[in-house]
Amino acid sequence: MLLKFTKMHGLGNDFVVVDAVSRKVFFNKQQIERLSDRNWGIGFDQLLVVEPPTQPEMDFRYRIYNSDGSEVEHCGNGARCFAKFVLDRELTNKRIIDVETKRGAIQLRVMNDGLVTVDMGTPSFAPQDLPFTAEEDVSLYSIMAGDAEYWLTPVSVGNPHAVIKVDQLVDDEVATIGRLLECHERFPQHVNVGFMQVISPSEINLRVYERGVGETQACGTGTCAAVVAGIKQGWLGPKVTAHLRGGDLHIEWQGEGSPILMTGPAETVFEGQIYL
């Protein structure tokens, strides 16, 4: 089958986006792994599939696959690219778009300046929602990775995250500890790991080791998780600019019961065709 695709990125977190509204498209794990290979395929962090909605009040359904073929619940950078894609392809003319995801409904707002604000839903700090194995419900948890002890905040923003506050961001630590914690036995469905350096109550530096992918240039859900963890711990205020390797995201969260609002860019790189 000849597959038409669009290559996009949100702050360097890159995606292949496929229109499965105009034409039915199905992928297996091996096809996704081949397409994601940066030497033998197209190369991407995630594959985004745009489908018709299954619920009448929704505009689209949105499916997300990691480069290893696993399907995941949510992707903030991908959601912004999704919004730009459906507008550019004239699949909709709406600038407020309601979308089904594996984790539930989300709303995307395309601003006049081209930035996209995503209502990421309400976060949960309950260990069972990640899931995370915990003997008690506290705000910070101690966990061993290698020979060192780390203190982390587990938080679900539709997918599971563990946020660690660090004094400095160190390449080896992000790669090594991120890999160890991703597959730690206390996270039975694996986890995304964020390393957050607090600059001020309204500014952080962040790097994220993503489950099933490795470190990416930016992670939307990881940024949301880091900010809400920082607010819960009293380190951050309700509006935060996060500096990632690929650029900046702006996060707003007013506290328990409120949705997380994430604003950032989405860019089209090129369009192409490839045989599956």
Residue set of the binding site: 13, 46, 66, 76-77, 159, 192, 210-211, 220-221
Cβ atoms within 10 Å, residue 109? 16
Q: Which residues pair with 243 in a beta bridge?
A: 205, 248
Binding residues for substrate: 13, 46, 66, 76-77, 159, 192, 210-211, 220-221
| Sign of the CA dihedral running 129, 132, 135, 136 | negative
User: Exposed/middle/buried for 133, CB within 10 Å: 0-12, 13-18, 19+?
Assistant: middle
Altogether, the residues listed in the chain come to a count of 276
Mutual angle of helices 220-232 and 76-88, in 10-degree steps: 140
Is position 224 annotated as part of the catalytic site? Answer: no
Tokens representing 80 are 């912004």
CA-derived radius of gyration, the chain: 18
Is position 219 annotated as part of the catalytic site? Answer: yes
Task: Please state, in angstroms and rounded to a whole number, the distance separating the CA atoms of residues 269 and 209.
Answer: 24
Task: Please state, in angstroms and rounded to a whole number, the distance separating the CA atoms of residues 63 and 77.
Answer: 13
Residues acting as catalytic residues: 75, 219
